Amino acid sequence: MTQIDTSDDAFAVLSSKGRRPLSERTVRAGLLTTGGRLFTKCLDFVTLLILARYLGPEEFGLVAMAMTAVLIVETLSEMPLGAALLNHQHPTERMYDTALSIAALRALAIVALLCVMAWPLSLLYHEPRLIALQSALSLAPAMRGLVSQRLTEYARVMDFRRDVALDIIAKAGALIIATILAITTGSYWAIAIGKISSTAFAMIASYFLAPQRIRFTLSEWHVFSDMLGWNAARQLLSAVNWQSDKVVLPRYVDIGTFGQFTWADNLIAVPAQAIIQPITPPLFSAFVMAGQAGALGKIYLKASAGVYSIIAPLFLSMGMLADPIIHLILGPAWQETAPILTWLAFAAAIGYAPTVLLPALAMSLNRTRVAFEKLAIEFCVKVPLIIGLTMVMALQGLLIGHAVAAMFGFLVNLVLVRKLIRIGILAQLSSLVRPTLAMIPMALLLLATQRLFSPNDSALQTFFYLVGVSGLAVATFVGTALILWKLAGSPDSCESLFLRMTQKILSR
């Protein structure tokens, strides 16, 4: 088995970037991927506006109906092949060939399963058009998994420019294709082909940006078997945990209340899609490199505090500014959604913000079983709790269940991190003390300014209110956090990294 040629330009990137501290490279990579994700989200929004101009609700509803099964199957079949390759310092050609072969088998299975499911689902929904539509849409997740496996070599050296470029190429291509079809045909196929073309553009472009010869073999299956096995179990539990409230709640509330909960839940998901998902690959690469250098514990604590310092204040602000946020985005008719958003945001600040790094940490150590254990424990607590409380107290019970499950999940995370890298619970909590204390004056400011908002305000007034108050809140949090950091003796932490990066930007 031949080794990958170390003269590859990915390794040249490593040597050129090796002078920078790992934490700084991680932040730079995170800023790149987050900026790229925000740009592609803008392209998605433009595509949506154009499609809405030429297509009606029926077309969108039909495609959404078909995409439900597609998304579930894709989630359940997700395979972290790149993570398994990154865990090997010198992966061989056969490892890359095996990864591509596994991805090809997954693609065939996805297409076959969704095509088989299309006919019974068309009968269930009394919609014969679903057969052709769902069968065609099965190509999207299939091709998404067939991108070049050599992209992982650039992730290894914290170079995510190709990933960002692929995302932009895919979204821009989909925008052009969907727009042309919507204008010329006015058919729901404009939406479907836009989704399919997006993954096709990404797949094809990946082999130009990260060339890989296509050869099929399963000779190195053992490299991936453990991670794939536990990941499949984790994905199954994740899907159940993710959808359990949406399965139970409609039986105990009217459809309007369920719609309000769904919108609030979708808003809570935005920070995960815009921030957590794009920074996870750089953090995973950082954990792998830190583990090889024997500095994983230090890097994890710094990363955990840094991510918590971004996400927790954001969720806190969403919870305390729920009324103007709903007023601006959905309008006064949806104002009853605000208390639901507040509950979910506070629960996310407790249970989501401090725990998002565990899956990346477990995969970097090739111990995905631990991430599965967390989901299994949460499943045994969250699902019965939500079902029981919802049966007794309807929506209020579900929200209480979310809050209790979030606190329990946080405690479980502390124990499992200690199991993975032997960092004590007190040490983990200590890393979160300063950002938590910094949120207190921020919360008091948000509380004091709530009286400035009126339900009778126009959308423009509400927008300027949110911009002004949010800016003051961010300044208060950052200022307080830096003061606390200075009082603590200016340790090497996420605050010091923030100051170094800011100074470098301002000095240019």
96 and 194 share one domain: yes
Task: Please check the confidence at residue 88 and state whether its pLDDT lies above 80.
Answer: no
- Closest residue by Cα to residue 62 from 126, 142, 115, 119: 126
Number of domains the chain is built from: 2
Is this structure's pTM higher than 0.85? no
Average confidence score pLDDT of the chain: 81
More confident residue, 462 or 263: 462
pLDDT given for residue 15 in this prediction: 40
Q: Is 21 helix (H, G, I), strand (E, B) or coil?
A: coil
Residue 6's pLDDT band (boundaries 50, 70, 90)? very low
Distances (CA, A) of 103 to 50, 91, 109, 147, 484: 34, 17, 10, 9, 48
Residue 7's pLDDT band (boundaries 50, 70, 90)? very low
Q: Is residue 25 part of a domain?
A: no
Q: Which of 402, 433, 464 is the last residue of a domain?
A: 433
pLDDT given for residue 221 in this prediction: 81
Q: Is residue 60 part of a domain?
A: yes
* pLDDT (tens digit per residue) in 205-236: 999 998 988 888 888 887 777 666 556 666 66
266 and 161 share one domain: no
* pLDDT (tens digit per residue) in 267-283: 887 777 777 777 777 77
* pLDDT (tens digit per residue) in 385-411: 888 888 888 888 888 988 888 888 889
Domain residues for 378? 255-433
158 and 192 share one domain: yes
Q: Which of 364, 399, 433 is the last residue of a domain?
A: 433
Q: Is residue 480 part of a domain?
A: no
290 and 141 share one domain: no
125 and 207 share one domain: yes
Contacts of 175 (CB under 8 A, 6+ apart): 43, 46, 47, 50, 194
- Tell me the mean pLDDT in the region 241-267: 70
Q: Which of 181, 209, 238 is the last residue of a domain?
A: 238
Any idea which of 43-47, 76-80, 146-150, 497-501 has the lowest mean pLDDT? 497-501
277 and 214 share one domain: no
Q: Is residue 131 part of a domain?
A: yes
pLDDT given for residue 27 in this prediction: 62
Determine contact, residues 160/209, Cβ cutoff 8 Å. no
Residue 12's pLDDT band (boundaries 50, 70, 90)? very low
Residue 259's pLDDT band (boundaries 50, 70, 90)? low
